[in-house]
Chains A and B, each alone.
Chain A
Amino acid sequence: MIEARGLSKRFRDKKRGEIRAVESVSFRCEPGKIYGLLGANGAGKTTTLRMLATILEPTDGTALVCGYDIVEQPEKVRASVGFLSTATALYPRLTAQEMVEYFGRLNGLDEPTLKKRVDDIFKRLDMDGFRDRRCDKLSTGMKQKTSIARTLIHDPPVMIFDEPTLGLDIMTARTIIAFIRECRDLGKTVIFSTHVMSEVEKLCDVIGIIQGGELLAEGSLPQLRDKYAERDLEEIFVKIVAPHYVQAEAS
């Protein structure tokens, strides 16, 4: 369960002054459901997700992740969150197995549990063929699988995906999509950001549309279709975002 309450993030930039990356965003993600954060580049998706994962500290507001406050109990939040993005790097000189084990240990798993979980995950993701290969020798797809295994090792109840399919080929992207669905079926709370409409249509139970750091619309796909009298999500998205997009350009 994720509950964002007025999350805001402002950055200071020498040239541009104060930048409002995220402005008082509030939403709820329920267990067993996928929440899709849809927005253009620079809309504030990544900043929002990073605040939820305690990588960034909010300027204002807070969020509860599994009942833990991201500002006051960041360690508890981190233990209950799995964070995956395409930018997630692996340690090049560790093997896939060592990489996953490392994060398992950091998350406080004892050795027998860790061994069992590693075997289980490697089997499930079909990774046994390259478990002893160094990460710098892996293909992009293998690397992505290793990243997934890393986020899963401590069996977190909340999964955060930041543009997880960005720059991946169709086969690898499908693995990720299948994996996100699996997380939902396991009853995990899933939030993910993207600007690929088809992914949102396929996956999301609830869609939040974000632009200029503000959450402009929220609801399930049928709800949004009714409200904006459009069938195509892309059209709905443009209808919602376009006025604000022009505004942002002008200012």
Chain B
Amino acid sequence: MFALIRWTFWITVWVLIAAFFHYTLPQTDIVRVTDTYESRENPTNYTLFWAAADVDAAGNELPRDVFFIQTRRAQGDVMVYRNEDTGWGWPPYFKFDTSNLQAEASDLRSSAAEPRFVAIRHYGWRNEFMSIFPNAVSVWRVDGPDAPKGIPWLNIIVLTLFAALIYGIWVRWRRFRMARIDPTMEAIEDDLADATGAVTGWFGSWRKKS
């Protein structure tokens, strides 16, 4: 029972961590930009997956215009990216060039008959039910649908540092547990065993009498 709870807890924690990194770290898609548009958005339900909106004096989020980039990916499916500043907030892309990026994306539009493929770096998720879109960070021209995406150095560095951090914490915790907690628990168990033995012994003697 305890093992089940422990496994559930740790699987949940690791799934959340994996989801966090999958959302936050950049990924690159090879796409063909079909169109770009601008739409008035006032996301109220899943604001976590949008850039922070301006608020009015009462603290209500104001509707705002958001840029979008419509694409067809090299694999064949479609993908719509939003194009928003992250500003000085989270995630720390420090993106301020949204309008420039939109201009570049518009410039790279192409038709299915005369495709021009571009790489689009983005973070985030597309989810139709929640109406959330990955945020495009940069676009650049590539040779074709099979163009290399480059080695994801940033992801490698971040994940390695994170693994090192977790390993460091884990080693220290294990050492602490072996030095302090395990002996104490054993002492408690021994005491408990002694006490139980004494009590049953006493009960035993009491029973034998009658």
Report whether chain A binds chain B.
no
Residue ranges of B at the interface with A (Cβ–Cβ < 8 Å): none
